[in-house]
Amino acid sequence: MKLLFSEHKSNYGRYQFPYAVWAVPEPGETPADLFNAGFLPSSRNLDRFYLCRQIRVHLAAFKPSSENRRILRKGAGIQARLVPRAEFDYTPERRQFYKTYADIKFGKDVMTCERLDSLFSSPVISHLLVFTDTENGAEVGVSTLFLEGRELAYYYYAFYDLNYYTRNLGMFMMTSAAALFSERRCRRLYLGTCYSQNALYKTQFAGAQFFNGFRWSDDLAELKFILRRDDGEPTEHLLEAADYRRQFHHDSLDSMVEKTVFQIKPA
């Protein structure tokens, strides 16, 4: 992959010079290579990715917990069906259903109709997980997915009937995806970013890992430490913080270099 560093506003007084790290695939690379290096798509055409603090589930280690089973029981009678995008009919009725959900959850017209249409026609969606209430035949939700063989499943946007809130439908959909792709022997399920306490629900699966900037970590105490630190408006970069390095065994620069997934080689 080729890397680009997009500069953001600096704080010269603290010697903080932030960059967003973008990755562009090179010939012979697939999206799985970039996901595995800590990147998520920043283009729906899968031609540009961004480095971020994200969550994935190492599915070989996944086994439904008591909480996962409780969520699945609450969704009893709701059936999940995996549909290739080419076989999915993006009808006006479905479009309106997704737009109504997006307006309520994200804010009015944060996701415009044009943006929604672009999402459902772009390469970042290869499949959809369609959820139907078998009692009345109603389609109650859909999860948009990008799949690459058995290497990865990327759980992207989910749209669902908010009237099913008492049955935890949103969490049921994500838990169903974890169970399904585990059964299909997929290696990893990617669940998006985690930059707030509210996003910790993505970690409630055995095998959950997060990207800490230089490697994947399965230490969720480390993630929670970073989230609390963010709330306190830190004045130094994370890897400079002595309490972080001491508590999570990143005692020296050499130890972090040894663990990093990144290495630049001469062209």
Q: Are strands 39-41 and 49-51 parallel, antiparallel or unpaired?
A: antiparallel
pLDDT at position 3 is 92
**pLDDT for 56-85, tens place per residue?**
999 999 999 999 999 999 999 999 999 999
H helix runs in 130-251, sequence order: 169-183, 220-231, 242-247
pLDDT at position 267 is 66
pLDDT at position 207 is 97
Q: Which residues pair with 156 in a beta bridge?
A: none
**Residue 35 pLDDT level (bands cut at 50, 70, 90):** very high
**Residue 24 pLDDT level (bands cut at 50, 70, 90):** very high
**pLDDT for 77-96, tens place per residue?**
999 999 999 999 999 999 99
Q: Is the pLDDT reported for residue 242 higher than 70?
A: yes
Q: How far is CA 247 from the centre of its chain?
A: 26
In contact, 68 and 57? CB cutoff 8 Å: no
How many other C-beta atoms can be found within 10 angstroms of the C-beta atom of residue 192? 15
Q: Is the pLDDT reported for residue 266 higher than 80?
A: no
pLDDT at position 57 is 98
pLDDT at position 65 is 97
Report how far residue 51's alpha carbon sits from residue 6's, in angstroms, rounded to the nearest whole number.
11
In contact, 52 and 38? CB cutoff 8 Å: yes
Q: Is the pLDDT reported for residue 257 higher than 70?
A: yes
Closest by CA to 198, choosing from 234, 170, 161, is: 170
| In the chain, % of residues over pLDDT 90 | 81
Question: Domain spans of the chain?
Answer: 2-259
pTM comes to 0.94
Which CATH code for domain 2-259? 3.40.630.30
